[in-house]
Amino acid sequence: MVNNNAKIVVVASKDGTAVGPAVEKAKDAGAKVIAYDRLIMNTKAVDYYATFQLEQTGVLEANYLIDKLGLKKGAKGPFNIELFSGSPDDNNAKYFFKGAWQLLQPYFKSGVLVSPSNHGGGVKADFKLSDWQKISVQSWKAEQAQKDMESIIDSTYSHGEKLNAVLSPYDGISQGVINAIQEKRPDMQPGTDTWPYITGQDAMEIAVANIAKGTQGQTVFKDVNKLADAVYDMILEIAQNKKVTGLNGKFNNNDIDVPSKLLNPQNITKDNLGELVKANYLTQDRFNALTQGTDVK
pLDDT (0 to 100) of residue 146 = 98
DSSP single-letter state for residue 125:
T
Whether 137 and 176 share a structural domain: yes
pLDDT (0 to 100) of residue 2 = 87
Query: Hey, which residues does 50 pair with through a beta bridge?
Result: 36, 261
Task: Among 8-22, 123-137, 283-297, name the one with the lowest average pLDDT.
Answer: 283-297
Whether 13 and 123 share a structural domain: no
**How many domains does the structure of the chain reveal?**
2
Whether 144 and 257 share a structural domain: no
Alpha-carbon distance values, 54 to 122, 245, 283 (Å): 25, 20, 27
> Which whole number is the average pLDDT over 20-43?
94
pLDDT (0 to 100) of residue 32 = 96
pLDDT (0 to 100) of residue 194 = 97
Give 159's contacts (C-beta < 8 A, 6+ positions apart): none
Whether 133 and 147 share a structural domain: yes
CA torsion through residues 151, 219, 208, 35, sign = negative
Is the pLDDT reported for residue 57 higher than 70? Answer: yes
Contact (CB, 8 A) for 283 and 277:
yes
Whether 23 and 95 share a structural domain: no
> Which whole number is the average pLDDT over 222-240?
96
**What mean pLDDT value characterizes the chain?**
95
Contact (CB, 8 A) for 214 and 193:
no
Task: Among 3-7, 59-63, 173-177, name the one with the lowest average pLDDT.
Answer: 3-7
Gap between the Cα atoms of 139 and 100, Å rounded: 20
Task: Among 221-225, 263-267, 292-296, name the one with the lowest average pLDDT.
Answer: 292-296
Whether 40 and 170 share a structural domain: no
Is the pLDDT reported for residue 297 higher than 60? Answer: no
> Which whole number is the average pLDDT over 108-135?
96
Whether 248 and 205 share a structural domain: no
DSSP single-letter state for residue 130:
G
Contact (CB, 8 A) for 109 and 125:
yes
The string of DSSP letters for 46-95 reads --EEEEE-HHHHHHHHHHHHHHHTTTTTT----EEEEE-B--TT-HHHHH
Is the pLDDT reported for residue 64 higher than 60? Answer: yes
DSSP single-letter state for residue 293:
T
| Dihedrals phi, psi of 243, to nearest 5 degrees | -70, 135
Widest distance between CA atoms in the chain: 65
Whether 106 and 212 share a structural domain: yes
Going by C-alpha positions, the residue among 249, 268, 279, 257 that lies closest to residue 51 is 249
**Domain range enclosing 104:** 55-222+268-291
Contact (CB, 8 A) for 89 and 140:
no
pLDDT digits (tens, 9 = 90+) for 161-220: 999 999 999 999 999 999 999 999 999 999 999 999 999 999 999 999 999 999 999 999
Gap between the Cα atoms of 150 and 68, Å rounded: 24
In a domain? residue 3: no
Whether 143 and 176 share a structural domain: yes
Whether 214 and 171 share a structural domain: yes
The enclosing domain of 282 has a CATH number of 3.40.50.2300
In a domain? residue 1: no
pLDDT (0 to 100) of residue 71 = 97
DSSP single-letter state for residue 170:
S
Reported as a pLDDT band with limits 50, 70 and 90, residue 1 is: confident
> Which whole number is the average pLDDT over 61-66?
98
Whether 89 and 33 share a structural domain: no
The better pLDDT of the pair 260, 14 is held by: 260
pLDDT digits (tens, 9 = 90+) for 265-287: 999 999 999 999 999 999 999 99
Whether 200 and 87 share a structural domain: yes
Is the pLDDT reported for residue 47 higher than 90? Answer: yes
In a domain? residue 123: yes
Going by C-alpha positions, the residue among 95, 102, 86 that lies closest to residue 55 is 95
pLDDT (0 to 100) of residue 296 = 54
Reported as a pLDDT band with limits 50, 70 and 90, residue 14 is: confident
pLDDT (0 to 100) of residue 295 = 58
Gap between the Cα atoms of 269 and 281, Å rounded: 15
pLDDT (0 to 100) of residue 293 = 76
